[in-house]
Structure 1
Amino acid sequence: MGRLTVRRPVVRLAAGRTPTRRPDALAVEEPLELRVDGRPLAVTMRTPGHDVELAHGFLLTEGVITAADELAAARYCDSVDDTGTNTYNVLDVALAPGVAPPETGVERNFYTTSSCGVCGKASLDAVRLRTRFSPAGDPVRVDAATLYALPDALREAQRIFESTGGLHAAGLFTPDGTALVVREDVGRHNAVDKVLGWALLQGRVPASGCVLMVSGRASFELVQKAVMAGVPVLAAVSAPSSLAVELAVESGTTLVGFLRGTTMNVYAGPDRIVDGTADDTPLEDQRIRRPVSAHE
């Protein structure tokens, strides 16, 4: 398996000080080609590690599989660099007998990047994939104080971030704030796929009664992934997009953004959040009058 970090020389500049040269740790970013039964399906730029989880999570959230036993095997193909060393950058998974192969066509053009995830979808309808694990009926309740603590809990589990400062993270938590799994990656979507792939392999899909915490913004794609895995609550430290909110409302997902310190914006499903410090007014009626801005 490849390294997770590399060291490169940098020139350090600071106002009023003499420039210095020193090595700096960088998060590794390498391509992973995912093949299904020998046929290329997707290429994603990712941080090496937990690739089998990444494959399971990706195929789950794209509607190819719904259970771990729908994949019969996963193996790395020979993919060597200039020195003849296997790069472990091509992973081939075999579908179990009777599992339908992925759809083909321009509407499923799976080229992904570490910044935006799956690109080339033909339309919004093509991204609203089928799910057997709708979170709409999940009765879980989460205390607001528990949510306030999640960003710090996620950061404390980011081992590689501490040395590089260049990775996103996603974590699956219980309603009392216990971390089930945390994964890091240069791509927000990859970190989520690794987490949900872990959940699938552990028999925790649908991820009922869980909170998915992400270190960046809540895009449409991340809400889609949460919905496909049956996650009832998605929380992010930054903003959601308009389509992310729309999908959260339609699917019955609780969507939290700008989760920082002891404040948050609840964009969908506020009834799942219990605020023991507020008055007796139901949380769903305690609408935030002025949205928090990213510039505040």
Structure 2
Amino acid sequence: MTSTAAGGPAWFRDALACTPERGTVQAEGATIETLAWGDPAKPGLFLLHGGAAHADWWSFIAPMFADRYRVVAFSWSGMGRSDWRELYSIHGFAREAVAVAQATGLLDGPAPPIWMAHSFGGHPSLVAAVEMPEALSALILIDTGGFPAPGVVENFVYSTRASPVFATREEALARFRFVPPDRDAPAFVRDYVAERSIAEQGGDRPGWRWRFDFSMWSRLDREPDMLELLATADVPIAFILGGETQIMADDAADRIRELRPRFTPIATVPDAGHHVMIDHPLAFVAAVNGLLSAWPEKMAVGPGASPLSVAASGKYPDPIAAK
């Protein structure tokens, strides 16, 4: 498999041409990988990826917001190029995220950043929203929120074994899969993410492994409960759901409105599965742009209001501004 940096359609190539500032910061005793785009003087947009992913999941998304925001992404400890830990906790991840926001300057401006968190990333983001609300002005939760589809929790296996090691780079890439499976994600996106999800290692087990701590889930303290956090968080919260999500329950939107009956917009991206930004990147950007253009300052969605929805026509504007 060859590099996809020069492949894919124009919007994808243009996005990757906006190369991020790559760096590291210290957070909770670990070295954390960071990526940043845009003018540090602009309002902040903080991107938090899902479980077993990494900051480069945002590399073809973040540049589309860099004309208006200082965009920062990072890899959670135990994932990407960040350090691994002996033990993990949701509270620890929340403190880690706030430390990254502080170290990258997102908390230096007149207003704290908007956080946008996918899947697992939503859990520590909600802890931050409840316990450290001064670190964020609003929170967008992407296909997360404590409303799992039947069987999702019961069928999740917490591995205790070490990461598998593959003899060659090609073998590792051939074994790469999204969990749950993507829904016809563009091949150029899938390949880009896969290439940045593996690492070569030496020592007594030379070969290639995944860029995440394979057994972290068995060493993770998952408290507190997400529904309690959602009910008590006193910052504006919005949701973006995949229209064909494999993770969220069919009635998730209704349950969200019961728990947070006011000022909680819900956007749905048709045909997208759990990995919304992977399955339909441009539709995802359109959904986020729709939220950011009218929320949180201007939008008030009351009880019974219809959720936002991206048009199902598949005709989306070019998200890369004309040069």
Question: TM range, normalised to the smaller chain?
Answer: under 0.3
Determine which structure has the larger strand proportion and give its number: 1
